[in-house]
């Protein structure tokens, strides 16, 4: 790792100034602390999901006899069971599983871009950044489809306590369960999706800079490392959203 910024640590006092005591540049350190604060935001949303879920009655029957009702919290595998181009096929969690794999893969291509940056391999950085951007865009497209399906609802709809039939979900009514279930779905996956979107934009800027040779002139590819941290964090959050929203 000869090409990463090396800092002289032979000085007697590590915290006495003149050296980077954590062996990381200012930008990288601040990215870490930003991600820590972002982790608090996401935890607040996900833990609120837990609070509201436990404040609602749970479904008591068997999975095979499950029907949608606004009276109890739905089983997620019965809500998220549609796959594009396979209308009417019951495929629980398959689509969200595919989305998870896409995001993990785009995280892998990001590590490979960072690794190529350490070796000053401009072509490698360009190639892997492009794959990361494609992965991010694919994930966003999948999420757009899932939102659209969730909003439009099933063909039969659900009859609520007032005797009206509801189709799909919005911020006030929800055919799959209590209205708060839909609100939390929109807030949590929306907040995450917006992070993915900004990640794709930032990745594109880094990709563009690598293409025009900005980092080659600068002599290091540390910017790739910093955006890499952000992109992995987005993947990390999705790991938690997948478990807490879709599996449990």
* CB closer to another protein out of 173 and 216: 216
* CB closer to another protein out of 123 and 155: 123
Residues 168, 175 contacting (CB under 8 angstroms): yes
CA dist., res. 223 & res. 234, Å (int): 17
Q: How far is the CB of 6 from another protein (least distance, A)?
A: 13
CA dist., res. 191 & res. 114, Å (int): 26
Give the footprint of another protein on this chain (CB under 8 A).
2-3, 21-24, 29, 32-33, 36, 39-40, 43-44, 47-48, 50-57, 63, 75, 77, 92-93, 97, 100-101, 104-105, 107-108, 110-112, 115, 118-122, 124, 211, 213, 216, 228-229, 232-233, 235-236, 239-240, 242-243, 247-248
Q: How far is the CB of 43 from another protein (least distance, A)?
A: 4
CA dist., res. 247 & res. 66, Å (int): 16
Q: How far is the CB of 141 from another protein (least distance, A)?
A: 20
Name, in order, each residue with C-beta under 8 angstroms of 76's C-beta and a sequence gap of 6 or more. Answer: 93, 245, 246, 247, 248
* CB closer to another protein out of 119 and 152: 119
CA distances (Å), 100 to each of 73, 95, 237, in order?
24, 9, 11
Q: How far is the CB of 49 from another protein (least distance, A)?
A: 10
- Count other C-beta atoms under 10 Å from residue 91's C-beta: 12
Name, in order, each residue with C-beta under 8 angstroms of 75's C-beta and a sequence gap of 6 or more. Answer: 59, 63, 66
Q: How far is the CB of 32 from another protein (least distance, A)?
A: 6
Q: How far is the CB of 152 from another protein (least distance, A)?
A: 25
Residues 20, 8 contacting (CB under 8 angstroms): no
* CB closer to another protein out of 22 and 171: 22
* CB closer to another protein out of 43 and 148: 43
Phi, psi of 123, rounded to the nearest 5 degrees: -60, -40
Q: How far is the CB of 211 from another protein (least distance, A)?
A: 8
CA dist., res. 172 & res. 225, Å (int): 42
* CB closer to another protein out of 23 and 170: 23
* CB closer to another protein out of 59 and 153: 59
- Count other C-beta atoms under 10 Å from residue 245's C-beta: 21
């Amino acid at each position: 790792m000869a090409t990463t910024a090396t800092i002289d640590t032979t000085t007697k006092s590590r915290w006495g100034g003149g050296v980077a005591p954590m062996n990381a540049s200012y930008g990288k350190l601040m990215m870490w602390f930003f991600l820590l604060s972002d982790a608090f935001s996401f935890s607040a949303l996900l833990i609120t999901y837990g609070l509201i879920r436990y404040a609602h009655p749970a479904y008591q029957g068997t999975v095979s006899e499950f029907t949608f009702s606004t009276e109890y919290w739905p089983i997620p595998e019965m809500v998220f069971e549609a796959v594009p181009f396979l209308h009417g096929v019951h495929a629980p969690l398959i689509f969200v599983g595919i989305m998870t794999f896409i995001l993990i893969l785009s995280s892998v291509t990001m590590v490979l871009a960072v690794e190529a940056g350490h070796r000053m391999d401009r072509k490698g950085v360009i190639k892997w950044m492009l794959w990361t951007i494609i992965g991010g865009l694919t994930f966003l497209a999948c999420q757009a489809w899932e939102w659209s399906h969730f909003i439009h609802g099933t063909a039969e709809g659900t009859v609520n306590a007032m005797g009206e039939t509801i189709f799909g979900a919005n911020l006030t009514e929800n055919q799959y369960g209590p209205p708060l279930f839909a609100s939390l779905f929109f807030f949590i996956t929306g907040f995450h999706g917006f992070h993915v979107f900004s990640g794709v934009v930032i990745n594109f800027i880094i990709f563009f800079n690598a293409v025009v040779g900005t980092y080659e002139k600068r002599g290091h590819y540390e910017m790739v490392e910093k955006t890499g941290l952000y992109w992995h964090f987005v993947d990390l959050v999705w790991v938690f959203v997948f478990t807490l929203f879709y599996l449990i």
